Amino acid sequence: MTTERAPESYLRLMPKVELHCHLEGSVPAATAVALARRNGTELPTMDPDTLYRFDDLEGFLDIYRAVSRAMVSAADFATVTYDSLVDAARTSNLRYREMAFNPTNHPGVPLADMLTGISEGIQSAERDCGVVGRIIVAFNREQPPELATELVRMVADADSPHVLGVGLDHNELSGPPQLFVDAYAIARAAGLARTAHAGERGNVAEVADTIGLLDVDRIDHGYAVLQSADLIRQSIDRGLHYAACWSTSAFHERGGQVSSPIAAMAAAGLDVSVSSDDPPFFATDIGSEYVQAGESIGWDRVQARQQVLRTAAATFLPPAERAALCARLAAEFDAYDET
């Protein structure tokens, strides 16, 4: 096999895995407007061409929450899930994705309806495109932590076969990890895997607290880890995985000191992957995320394949299913490399 850099076309169409993609952040603007009209909810604008315009994380989250409120029925959840998985499979050869969603951002919608709809979308997408989707139920850290403990108990009782873990989302400038210790302990006791957004906006103490207090298996983003050699060493020793996102990190780091945090994280020896986060909001898709990462870091084909397989190894699937996914991907890469 060659050690030349993998061309863009290779990166775009190789089999892919992603671990950090928000269901509500995957709604195309035109779909969000159609859902809001049908369900009688409000958006900042009904113009799909300008709906996803914002200047900072706070502005983004305002729109994200409005789009979330437009999703109210099981059928809405099924459609959004199906469309997003199938689109990523067709345009970027996505084979596996863990999707976070925020139940408490859909006031009045029963958890059972949301889980039923998402599961239906997952099953239909796998049937039509062979792409596998799984769910992470995410807490909104800007809301009272009691909502998170109540939610995690309901999720544990629901025992959905597609829910693999829990996450902690939204503005890390409010809702520190300390508030969610109970919710994470309940998740752990229920056998749910654990991730959390941390260090997206430069707060290294938040990364340390998330690791120390929430006993997470993964961190979402985590760029601030680069500020601490000690925390980098600790992360490597624990086998902690960082599910990072190229486009959103570039957006949030704009004006900051670090121009390419993911490349620096990889260079530091961290186990880091690349995901699309909120693709239509940031005009990206998982193919573009891998292309940007691969071209910036300079992957050859072998390194690109290793990157995907390392990402598959960090999924929250039960061990036998994870091993089967890795084997399937290796076979798909063999076939892909022969074409």
Query: Interface with ligand ADE by CB under 6 A: which residues?
Result: 22, 25, 64, 169-170, 197, 200, 248, 277-278
> Within a 10 A sphere around the Cβ of 262, how many other Cβ atoms?
25
Residue with tokens 């340390």: 208
Of residues 70 and 329, the one with the C-beta less far from ligand ADE: 70
What does 101 bind: Zn ion, ligand ADE, none (CB cut-off 5 to 8 Å by kind)? none
Largest CA-CA distance found in the chain, in angstroms, rounded:
56
Q: Which is nearer to ligand ADE, 235 or 248 (CB)?
A: 248
State in angstroms the smallest separation of the CB of 20 from Zn ion. Answer: 6
Residue 105 CB, shortest distance to Zn ion, in Å, is 13
Burial 21-41 (b: 16+ CB within 10 A, else e): bbbbbbbbbebbbbbbeeeeb
| Alpha-helix runs per DSSP H in 216-318 | 229-238, 246-253, 261-267, 286-297, 301-313
H or E segment to which residue 58 belongs: helix 57-69
**What is the closest distance, in whole angstroms, from the C-beta atom of residue 22 to ligand ADE in the complex?**
4
Positive or negative torsion for Cα 181, 139, 81, 282: negative
Residue reference for tokens 């670090």:
258
The one of ligand ADE, Zn ion, none whose footprint includes residue 305, by CB under 5 to 8 A per kind, is none
CB of 124 to ligand ADE, least distance (A): 24
Q: How far is the CB of 277 from Zn ion (least distance, A)?
A: 5
CA distance 300 to 181: 41
- 206 part of the interface to Zn ion, by CB under 5 A: no
Judge whether 91 and 285 are in contact, CB under 8 Å.
yes
Considering the complex, state which of residue 14 and residue 163 has its C-beta at the smaller distance from Zn ion: 163
Q: How many CA atoms lie within 13 A of 243 on its CB side?
A: 30
User: How near is the Cβ of 130 to ligand ADE at its closest, in Å?
Assistant: 27
CB nearer ligand ADE, residue 195 or residue 248: 248
Amino acid at 103: P
Nearer to ligand ADE, 206 or 277 (CB): 277
Residues 138 and 68: their CA atoms lie apart, in Å, by 13
Q: Is 289 among the residues that bind Zn ion (CB under 5 A)?
A: no
- Asked whether position 277 contacts Zn ion by CB under 5 A, the answer is yes
Question: Which option in ligand ADE, Zn ion, none does residue 170 bind, with CB closer than 5 to 8 A by kind?
Answer: ligand ADE
State the binding partner of 25 from ligand ADE, Zn ion, none, CB within 5 to 8 A by kind.
ligand ADE
Q: Which residue's CB is nearer to ligand ADE, number 196 or number 325?
A: 196
- Smallest separation (angstroms) from ligand ADE to the CB of 10: 28
Spatial contact of 273 and 5, defined as CB atoms under 8 Å apart: no
Contact segment (CB under 5 A) with Zn ion among 62-70, 127-135, 179-187, 273-281 equals 273-281
Binding site for Zn ion (CB under 5 A): 277
